Amino acid sequence: MLLGAVMGLLALSCLLRAEAAGTSALADASAATGRRMFFGDASLQGAIVGHPEALPPRLAACANCHEGAGLAAASFGPRLNGTRLTEMRGRRGGPPSAFSPASFCQMLRTGVDPASILITRQMPRYTLDDNQCLGLWHYLTETSDVGSN
Ligand code: HEC
């Protein structure tokens, strides 16, 4: 009886450990995909509001505006990292707010930020699935310093 319970616990702890390892492998893979999308090595579908045609992949890459080495002026978009995205701060004149994975995905798709303020049209709107935007989220929040300003 006791032995059975001990064996059961052991099996459970092995299972939990395997699951934890699996989860972190998934997060790593997704951050790596996010990085590729951020720098334009994996394509993203984005468009400027009011323009029916999609941006060329080179221009849709986040790094184009959020990283100094991009094609656009170095300081066009703000530096994006875990601190910037997840700390409570006033954004675009709104009340303090912080991004969650869900509000980050919503912002990329619709332009509506966590304080329900519409971001400028300089920031493209993206058509992406949950894996793609969570990959970007993991990459940005797990990387200490992305961008130029
Ligand atoms: C064509 C230029 C451009 C591209 C490409 C671009 N952004 Fe932006 N982004 C901006 C600008 C400009 C702002 C600042 C707008 C504002 O605050 O009103 C911004 C703001 C943001 C913010 C809000 C930051 C905050 O603190 O509120 C996030 C998050 C963001 N961008 C993520 C991304 C991601 C992820 C990508 C790629 C999928 C991307 N952007 C691609 C120009 C761009």
Mean pLDDT, contiguous 10-residue spans, the chain (149 residues): 57 51 67 92 93 91 77 69 94 96 98 97 95 95 59
Sign of CA dihedral 88, 89, 95, 97: negative
The pLDDT of residue 85 is 95
Place of tokens 């793609």: 132
The pLDDT of residue 17 is 53
CA distances from 117 to 4, 92, 95, 122, 128 (A): 57, 7, 10, 14, 21
Ligand 1 atom closest to the CA of 59, numbered from 1: 5
> Residue 124 Cα, ligand 1 centroid: separation in angstroms?
7
Burial class (CB in 10 A: 0-12, 13-18, 19+), 80: buried
In this structure, what DSSP letter does residue 112 have?
B
Ligand 1 proximal residues by C-beta, below 6 Å: 44, 60, 62, 64-66, 76-78, 80, 84, 91-92, 107-108, 113, 119-120, 122-124, 126, 136
Residue 90 φ/ψ, nearest 5 degrees = -70, 130
Ligand 1 atom closest to the CA of 89, numbered from 1: 26
CA distance 147 to 92: 19
The pLDDT of residue 4 is 61
> Residue 8 Cα, ligand 1 centroid: separation in angstroms?
50
The pLDDT of residue 147 is 47
Q: Give nearest CA residue, ligand 1 atom 9.
A: 123
Q: Where are the domains of the chain?
A: 2-142
The pLDDT of residue 67 is 78
